[in-house]
Chains A and B, each alone.
Chain A
Amino acid sequence: MNHWLAIGGMMLLTVLIRASFLVFGQRLAFPDWLNRALHYVPAAVLSALVVPMALAPAGTVDISLHNAYLPGIIVAALVAWKSGKTLLAIVVSFVVYGVWRWGLGL
Chain B
Amino acid sequence: MMHALNRRALLLEGARDTVPMLVGAAPFGVIFGTLAIAAGLSPATALGMSVLVFAGSSQFIGVSLIGAGTALPVLWLTTFVVNLRHALYSATLLPYARDWPLRWRWPLAFWLTDETFAVVEHRFRTKGTDGGQWYWLASSLAMYGNWLFWTMVGVSLGQSLPGLATLGLDFAMGATFAAIVAPQLKHRPALGAALAASAVAMLARGLPYKLDLMLAAVVGVTTGLLLEQWQKDKEQTA
- Determine whether the beta carbon of B178 is less than 8 Å from that of A13: no
- Determine whether the beta carbon of B182 is less than 8 Å from that of A23: no
Query: With the chains together, A90 CA to B122 CA distance in Å?
Result: 15
- Name the B residues within 8 Å of A20 (CB-CB): 87, 90-91
A-B interface pairs (CB < 8 A), number: 274
| Smallest CB gap from A25: residue in B | B94
B162 at the interface (CB under 8 A from A): no
B154 at the interface (CB under 8 A from A): no
B66 at the interface (CB under 8 A from A): yes
Query: With the chains together, A48 CA to B213 CA distance in Å?
Result: 6
B183-238 interface (Cβ within 8 A of A): 183-186, 189-191, 193-198, 200-202, 205-206, 212-213, 216-217, 219-225, 228
- Determine whether the beta carbon of B175 is less than 8 Å from that of A44: no
B164 at the interface (CB under 8 A from A): no
Query: With the chains together, A50 CA to B166 CA distance in Å?
Result: 17
User: Closest Cβ of chain A: how far from B107's Cβ, in Å?
Assistant: 10
- Determine whether the beta carbon of B79 is less than 8 Å from that of A14: yes
Asked if A18 meets B110 with Cβ closer than 8 Å, knowing A9-B75, A49-B177, A80-B183, the reply is yes
| Smallest CB gap from A102: residue in B | B168
- Name the B residues within 8 Å of A41 (CB-CB): 88-89, 91-92, 217, 221
The contact of B197 among A45, A79, A81, by CB within 8 Å, is A45
- Determine whether the beta carbon of A81 is less than 8 Å from that of B90: no
Query: With the chains together, A22 CA to B133 CA distance in Å?
Result: 13
The contact of A86 among B17, B42, B190, B191, by CB within 8 Å, is B17
- Determine whether the beta carbon of B179 is less than 8 Å from that of A1: no
B30 at the interface (CB under 8 A from A): no
- Name the A residues within 8 Å of B142 (CB-CB): none
- Name the B residues within 8 Å of A11 (CB-CB): 52-53
- Determine whether the beta carbon of B212 is less than 8 Å from that of A49: no
Asked if A39 meets B114 with Cβ closer than 8 Å, knowing A11-B52, A26-B98, A55-B202, the reply is no
User: Closest Cβ of chain A: how far from B167's Cβ, in Å?
Assistant: 10
- Determine whether the beta carbon of A44 is less than 8 Å from that of B197: yes
Q: List 25 A-B contacts (CB under 8 A).
A: A7-B45, A13-B76, A14-B58, A18-B109, A35-B95, A36-B225, A40-B225, A42-B117, A42-B181, A43-B197, A45-B89, A45-B220, A47-B194, A49-B213, A50-B177, A53-B171, A59-B205, A68-B168, A86-B17, A90-B176, A93-B175, A94-B171, A94-B172, A94-B175, A97-B175
A-B interface, 3 closest residue pairs, ranked by CB to CB distance from nearest: A44-B220, A40-B224, A48-B216
